[in-house]
């Protein structure tokens, strides 16, 4: 099918957006909108917290909305507020939906593209189609009483494509919404510069990285299983913002928030590998994709979002006990094994994940399909 000569008007909505070039928040949304804009096939307008200018240069956010969204973001974002202070979180969620509704009426786009499943509840009742990017964290809110019913009502008012970024989400989404919305996967891409990270062929490093927001669920079994495995001879470095008040064991070295450039240039080249024992509702964690693209060995807890990425013993290791963690660490610290696993992980990411341009092409096709299917 030949693309239309006139660019499609897309309103992209997100509650997360990088404040500056060093900010980790909403980085994947920034990369996606950049690829979409570069395609030349869309006129994209962004509704999101203020920060780095979108590639299109066009924002749908008023000054008042930007101020409100900035304050919400500075408090940790909507997902953090809903977890830690449900009443405040619900009030902020109501504020987000009301403001998005008004922005949608102002913009009147060809297609809405929202990057949080529950944002659909704020779209105007105008029949305009919507592409909904679905993340792993959305599933926590799907468990709330009445949420599925509310979303079904919203999807029934417009042509909708649900685009989860991981295969494991397909069946649960189809069970809930398959009769009123199309579910098609669209994995996020990875920037080419991650494949260019210079790692020594034999680092002999025993410095491990955890790159994560710091919450109980994100750390998972790390405090319990890591005791005795990390210390003076094997070191653990925690990179990420503290989002819950936790007392960390003294064998964890906390560095605070990081950013993609620091990971590429400083941390990934020197590390033995990336470790995550998260119990969080993970989709396809972007930092795992980037680590694998860089050839870094990855050890991860055996949850759907990790099993969707890692082939155990081939592109990384999946663990479900302290003993399995110990064995994985020992294998990953062998230089020959690390090089083999890293190379296989790189090849898998190139073949199965692809670039942000690949992700954008799938979005463009979804936009066209949505418009062609309109009555």
Tens digits of residue pLDDT in 28-65? 899 999 999 999 999 999 999 999 988 888 999 999 99
Q: Is residue 253 part of a domain?
A: yes
Q: Is residue 279 pLDDT above 90, yes or no?
A: no
Q: In what order do the strands lie in the sheet with 160-164?
A: 42-47, 8-13, 111-114, 130-134, 160-164, 182-183
pLDDT in tens, 263-276: 999 999 999 999 99
Q: Is residue 23 part of a domain?
A: yes
User: What's the burial of 303, exposed, middle or buried (CB within 10 Å: 0-12/13-18/19+)?
Assistant: buried
pLDDT-wise least confident of 55-59, 228-232, 259-263: 55-59
Report yes or no on whether pTM surpasses 0.75.
Answer: yes
Return the top range by mean pLDDT from 73-77, 145-149, 217-221, 319-323. Answer: 319-323
**Which tokens belong to 165?**
């970024």
The pLDDT score that the predictor gives to residue 374 is 65
Provide, rounded to the nearest whole percent, the portion of the chain with pLDDT above 90.
71
For the residues 220-227, what does the mean pLDDT come to?
95
Residue 193's contacts (CB-CB under 8 Å, 6 or more residues apart) are 264
Q: Is residue 4 pLDDT above 70, yes or no?
A: no
**φ and ψ of 48, to 5 deg:** -165, 170
Helix or strand or coil: residue 233?
coil
Same domain, 81 and 149: yes
Q: Is residue 204 pLDDT above 80, yes or no?
A: no
CATH number at residue 69: 3.40.50.2000
Q: Is residue 1 part of a domain?
A: no
For the chain, the average pLDDT equals: 91
Other C-beta atoms lying within 10 Å of the C-beta of residue 1: 7
Q: Is residue 312 pLDDT above 70, yes or no?
A: yes
**Which tokens belong to 63?**
């000054």
Q: Would you put residue 161 in left (φ > 0), alpha (ψ -120 to 50) or beta? A: beta
Residue 163's contacts (CB-CB under 8 Å, 6 or more residues apart) are 131, 132, 133, 134, 184, 185, 186, 362, 363, 366
**φ and ψ of 27, to 5 deg:** -65, -35
The pLDDT score that the predictor gives to residue 3 is 47
Same domain, 368 and 294: no
Q: Is residue 32 part of a domain?
A: yes
User: What's the burial of 142, exposed, middle or buried (CB within 10 Å: 0-12/13-18/19+)?
Assistant: middle
pLDDT in tens, 322-357: 999 999 999 999 999 999 999 999 999 999 898 999
Same domain, 185 and 210: no
Same domain, 161 and 201: no
Q: Which residue has the higher pLDDT, 244 or 277?
A: 277
The pLDDT score that the predictor gives to residue 201 is 54
Query: Alpha-carbon distance 17 to 28, whole Å?
Result: 9
Query: Alpha-carbon distance 318 to 234, whole Å?
Result: 20
Same domain, 59 and 172: yes
Three-state helix/strand/coil letters over 9-38: EEEEECCCCCCCCCCCCCHHHHHHHHHHHH
Same domain, 217 and 365: no
Residue found by looking up tokens 């992700």 in the block = 359
Q: Is residue 62 part of a domain?
A: yes
Q: Is residue 102 pLDDT above 80, yes or no?
A: yes
Query: Alpha-carbon distance 317 to 329, whole Å?
Result: 9
pLDDT grade for 9, boundaries at 50, 70 and 90: very high
Q: Is residue 3 part of a domain?
A: no
Cα Rg, the chain, nearest whole Å: 21
Same domain, 181 and 199: no
CA angle 55, 132, 39 (to 5 degrees): 35
Same domain, 166 and 275: no
For the residues 366-372, what does the mean pLDDT come to?
96
Treating both helix axes as pointing N-terminal to C-terminal, what angle do 27-38 and 356-372 enclose, rounded to 10 degrees?
70
Same domain, 180 and 205: no
Domain range for 118? 8-189+355-372
For the residues 101-106, what does the mean pLDDT come to?
97
- Using CA atoms, how far residue 9 sits from 39, 67, 143, in Å, is 13, 25, 33
The pLDDT score that the predictor gives to residue 1 is 41
Same domain, 108 and 200: no
CA angle 349, 17, 181 (to 5 degrees): 65
Query: Alpha-carbon distance 258 to 264, whole Å?
Result: 11
Q: Is residue 58 part of a domain?
A: yes
Same domain, 119 and 252: no
Treating both helix axes as pointing N-terminal to C-terminal, what angle do 335-352 and 286-293 enclose, rounded to 10 degrees?
120
Q: Is residue 2 pLDDT above 50, yes or no?
A: no
- Using CA atoms, how far residue 343 sits from 111, 134, 298, 318, in Å, is 40, 29, 12, 17
Same domain, 214 and 309: yes
Q: Is residue 2 part of a domain?
A: no
> Structural domain tally of the chain?
2
């Amino acid at each position: 099918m030949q693309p239309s000569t006139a660019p499609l008007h897309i309103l992209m909505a997100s509650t997360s957006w990088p404040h500056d070039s060093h900010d980790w928040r909403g980085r994947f949304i920034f990369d996606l909108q950049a690829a979409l804009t570069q395609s030349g096939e869309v006129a994209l307008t962004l509704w999101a917290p203020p920060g780095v200018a979108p590639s299109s240069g066009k924002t749908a956010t008023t000054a008042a909305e930007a101020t409100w969204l900035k304050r919400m973001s500075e408090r940790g974002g909507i997902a953090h507020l809903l977890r830690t202070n449900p009443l405040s979180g619900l009030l902020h969620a109501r504020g987000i939906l009301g403001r998005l509704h008004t922005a949608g009426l102002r913009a009147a786009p060809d297609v809405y593209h929202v990057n949080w499943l529950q944002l659909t509840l704020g779209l105007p009742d105008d029949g305009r189609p919507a592409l909904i990017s679905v993340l792993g964290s959305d599933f926590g809110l799907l468990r709330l009483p009445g949420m599925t019913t509310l979303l079904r009502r919203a999807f029934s008012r417009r042509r909708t494509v649900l685009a989860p970024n991981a295969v494991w989400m397909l069946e649960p989404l189809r069970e809930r919404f398959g009769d009123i919305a199309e579910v098609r996967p669209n994995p996020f891409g990875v920037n080419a510069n991650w494949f260019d990270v210079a790692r020594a062929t034999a680092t002999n490093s025993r410095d491990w990285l955890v790159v994560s927001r710091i919450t109980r669920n994100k750390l998972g079994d790390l405090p319990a299983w890591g005791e005795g495995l990390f210390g003076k001879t094997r070191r653990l470095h925690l990179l990420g913002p503290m989002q819950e008040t936790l007392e960390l064991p003294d064998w964890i070295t906390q560095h605070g928030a990081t950013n993609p450039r620091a990971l590429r240039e400083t941390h990934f080249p020197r590390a033995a590998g990336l470790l995550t024992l998260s119990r969080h509702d993970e989709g396809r964690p972007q930092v795992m994709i980037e680590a694998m693209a860089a050839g870094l060995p990855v050890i991860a807890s055996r949850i759907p979002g990790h099993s969707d990425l890692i082939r155990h013993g081939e592109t990384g290791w999946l663990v479900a006990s302290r003993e399995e963690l110990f064995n994985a660490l020992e294998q990953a610290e062998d230089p020959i094994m690390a090089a083999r696993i890293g190379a296989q992980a790189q090849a898998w990411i190139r073949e199965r994940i692809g670039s942000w341009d690949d992700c954008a092409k799938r979005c463009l096709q979804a936009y066209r399909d949505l418009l062609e299917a309109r009555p």
